[in-house]
Amino acid sequence: MKSPLFNRLALAASVMLVGGSACAQVKIAYIDPLSGPFANVGEAGLKGFKEAAEILVNQKGGIMGQKLEFTGFDNKGSPQETQLQLKAAIDQGFRFVTLGNGSGAAHSLIDAVNKWNARNPDKTVLFFNYAAVDPTLTNEKCSFWHFRFDANTEMKMEAISNFMEKDKTIKKLFIIGQDYAHGHQVAKYTKEMLAAKRKDIKIVGEDLHPIGRVKDFAPYIAKIKASGADTVMTGNWGNDLSLLIKAAKDAGLKARFFTYYAGGLGTPQAMGAAGENQVIQLTEWHMNVPTKNTEKFALDFNKKYPGVWFYYLRVNNMVQMVAQAMNTAKSTDPKAVALALEDMRMPVDTGEVWMRKSDHQAMQPLYISIFSKADGKTVKHDSEGTGYGWKTLATISQRDSQLPTSCIMERP
C-alpha cells in the first residue's frame, strides 16, 4: 500500500542525488556528514572536491573526455548510516567513494567495501580516504580497495618527533589528549618515539579526558603548570583544542602546544589571539607555504565560498592523482584504477606525493608551523580572518615521515 509513494520518494532521491545529467561522467560518491554537528567539516570537504575537480581536471580536458563529478551522500557521521549510503551510491552506479571524517565511519566503510567486493566481484568499489588517520587502516586492516591520501597519526608523530629531536629548548613535555583511540595513539607514539630520539626529554605528565565533555580546562592547565612543562603535546581537535588553548592563555601558561588539528575548520577562529606564538601544527600545507598554483587556488576558493576556508591540499592531490590514474589506465574500472594508483609518483605544488604500493599510504612533504601575527611578509595570509596566520618552522621531507608498515595485503 505504501509502495508507490515509497518508490517515488526513492526515485526522487536518486534523481536529485544524481542530478539527472545524461552526459558521460566519472562519478565519485562523497560520503561524509552533511548535516548535524560535523556538517561544516563535511561541507568544506565537498566544496573542496567539487572545486578541485572543476579547476584541476575538468577545465583541463577531464578524464578521457569525461567530466569528473563529486556527489554528496550524508552519512550524518554515523558508521551505520555510512553503510546505507554506500549501498545507495552503489545502486546509483557509483564505483568510487571517498570519506574522511571519523575513524569509526572509515572502519565501517573499509569493511563494507571489502565485503561488497568479495561478494560482488563484478561490481567492485574503490575507497579513497582523504582524512581518516587511524594507522590501522593501512596496517592491520589494510585493503587493496583503500587508498589513503593523508599522513596517518603515526607518520605525523614521526614528523613531529623528528622536529622535537632538533629543538633543544624542549626539556619537559606534558601529554594531554582525548580519551579515545586517537588520543591514546598520540600518547603512545609520543612516548615511544621520544624515548628513541630524545631520552633527555622528561615526560612530566600525561592526562586523558573524555572527548567533548570538558567545559573548563583550568584545572588541567593548573596541573600542566605545576609540572613545569615547557611543551605540551596534544591530539585534541575542535572545541577540546580551542578551550585548552584559551584556558592556557587565561592562566598565563607559557608552554608551546604541538597539535594535529589547529589549522582549520573553525579552530583558528575559536582560538583567536590566545594561540599566538604558542600553538604549533603539522599539516601537508598552509597558506604561507610558497607555492606556484595553490596559493591562488586557495584565495579564489575563499573568495568564492565566503565563510569556508580552503584547508585540504590533499583533496587537490587526490583529485589529480585519481584523474591521472584513470587516464593512465585508460579505464574507469576500480581495479584498473587501483593498480594504476599503486606506486604512483605525482609532482604537486609542495613536492612529490608517492602512493606506496605495500599499504596504499600516500607519502608527502609535511610542514610544521606556528600561529603568529600576520605581517604581510613571512606570514602573508592570516588564517580564517583572525589576523593571525601560520609561519613555517620546518619542512619535513617526504622521506622523513615514512615508517614501515605491517600490512599484509590480499590482492585480487
Partner 1 sequence: MLVSSRLVTRSRLLLWGGCLALALALPLIFRSSFLISLLCQMGIMVVFSLSYNMLLGQTGLLSFGHAVYYGLGAFATMHTLNALGKDGGPLVVALLPAVGACAGLAGGVVLGYVTTRKAGTTFAMITLGIGELVAACSLMFPGVFGGEGGVSGNRVIGKESFLGFNWGPQVEMYGLIVMWAFVCTVAMFALTQTPLGRMANAVRDNPERAEFVGYDTERVRLLMVILSGMFAGAAGGLTALNYEIVTAETLNAHTSGVVLLMTFVGGIGFFYGPIIGAILITVMQIVVGGMTHAWLLYFGLFFLFMVLKAPGGIASLIAVQRNLWNAGLFGRMLPHYLAMMLPVLILLAGLVGVVELSYALLAGDGVGAGDTATRVLGMQLKLGTPAPWVTALAVTGAGMILTRWIGGRAGTAWNSTLATLHGDKA
Partner 2 sequence: MEFVVISLLNGITYGLLLFMLSSGLTLIFSMMGILNFAHASFYMLGAYFAYQISTWVGFWPGLLVAPLLVGAVGALVERYGLRRAHRFGHVAELLFTFGLAFVVEEVVHLVWGKVAVDYRIPVELDGTLFTLFDTSFPIYKGFMMLISVGMLVALYALLTRTRIGLIIQAALTKPDMVEALGHNVPRIFMLVFGGGTALAGLAGVIGGNAFVTEPGMAAAVGSIVFVIVVVGGLGSLGGAFVASLLIGCIQTFSVGLSISITDVFALVGIALPAGSQVARLTITQMAPVLPYLFMVAILIFRPRGLMGARES
User: Where does this chain bind partner 2 (CB under 8 A)?
Assistant: 37, 39-40, 43, 179, 205, 207-210, 212-216, 218-220, 222-223, 225-226, 239, 242-243, 246, 250-252, 265-266, 269-270, 272, 307, 385-386
Tell how far CA 199 is from the center of its chain. 31
Identify what 73 binds: partner 1, partner 2, none; CB under 5 to 8 Å per kind.
partner 1
Q: How far is the CB of 81 from partner 2 (least distance, A)?
A: 18
Q: Which residues contact 228 (CB under 8 A, 6 or more apart)?
A: 172, 204
**Residues linked to residue 371 through DSSP beta bridges, in sequence order:** 390
DSSP states of 268-288 as a string?
HHHHGGGGTTTEEEEES--TT
> Grid coordinates 539527472 are at which residue?
20
Identify what 242 binds: partner 1, partner 2, none; CB under 5 to 8 Å per kind.
partner 2
* Interatomic CA distance for residues 214 and 218, integer angstroms: 10
228 forms part of the interface with partner 1 (CB under 8 A): no
* Interatomic CA distance for residues 129 and 28, integer angstroms: 12
What Rg, from alpha-carbon coordinates, does the chain have? 22
Identify what 239 binds: partner 1, partner 2, none; CB under 5 to 8 Å per kind.
partner 2
Identify what 108 binds: partner 2, partner 1, none; CB under 5 to 8 Å per kind.
partner 1
Q: Which residue stretch of 1-9, 23-31, 251-259, 321-329 sits at the interface with partner 1 (rule: CB under 8 A)?
A: 1-9
SS3 362: strand
C-alpha grid cell for residue 306?
565566503
Is the CB of 64 or the CB of 181 nearer to partner 1?
A: 181
Task: List phi, psi (to 5°) of 161.
Answer: -70, -30
Q: State which of positions 75-94 bind partner 1 (CB under 8 A).
A: 76, 78-81, 83-85, 87-88, 90-91
C-alpha grid cell for residue 353?
606525493
Identify what 272 binds: partner 1, partner 2, none; CB under 5 to 8 Å per kind.
partner 2
Q: How far is the CB of 55 from partner 1 (least distance, A)?
A: 15
* Interatomic CA distance for residues 297 and 402, integer angstroms: 28
Q: Which residue stretch of 150-158, 181-189, 268-276, 323-331 sits at the interface with partner 1 (rule: CB under 8 A)?
A: 181-189
35 forms part of the interface with partner 1 (CB under 8 A): yes
Q: How far is the CB of 397 from partner 1 (least distance, A)?
A: 30
Instruction: Give kind and range of the element (H or E) at residue 192.
Output: helix 181-197
* Interatomic CA distance for residues 134 and 103, integer angstroms: 6
47 forms part of the interface with partner 1 (CB under 8 A): yes
* Interatomic CA distance for residues 110 and 146, integer angstroms: 7
294 forms part of the interface with partner 1 (CB under 8 A): no
Identify what 382 binds: partner 2, partner 1, none; CB under 5 to 8 Å per kind.
none
HSE (CB half, 13 Å, CA atoms) of 411?
10
Closest Cα to residue 100, out of 68, 127, 139? 127
Q: Which residue stretch of 72-80, 215-223, 253-261, 287-295 sits at the interface with partner 1 (rule: CB under 8 A)?
A: 72-80
Interface residue list for partner 1 (CB under 8 A): 3, 6-7, 9-10, 12-13, 16-17, 34-36, 39, 43, 47, 73-74, 76, 78-81, 83-85, 87-88, 90-91, 102-104, 106-108, 111-112, 115, 119, 134, 136, 179-182, 184, 210-211, 213, 304-308
